[in-house]
Amino acid sequence: MYGNTRGSFGASGFGPSAPVETGKEYDVEIEDISKQGDGIARIEGFVIFVPETGVGDKTKIVVDKVMQRFAIAHKV
């Protein structure tokens, strides 16, 4: 009676869930550098900040934290 029957809104309740999960490993290529100097990778368009990387680096990462619009990861 009070439930939402219009579909899933993801874990945050504000849109589809992120295509990455905390604690999982991914192979990525660093595409850009943030203003703070972290490498930026993307999975399905979702931004992942990876410290201590540079543009063109191909590396394996582990996701540390997933936010609504981006994630933070570290190199393995």
Q: What is the pLDDT of residues 44-65, one digit of tens each?
A: 999 999 999 999 999 999 999 9
Structure tokens that stand for 21 in this block: 């999960």
| pTM of the complete model | 0.79
**Cα 27 versus chain centre, distance:** 12
Mean of the pLDDT values across residues 15-20? 83
Please state which architecture CATH assigns to domain 1-76.
Answer: Beta Barrel (2.40)
- Which residues lie below 8 Å from residue 50, measured CB to CB, with a gap of 6+? 28, 30, 38, 39, 40, 41, 59, 61, 73, 74, 75
Q: How far apart are CA 36 and CA 33, in angstroms?
A: 8
Residue 35: predicted pLDDT: 97
Q: What is the mean pLDDT of the chain?
A: 87
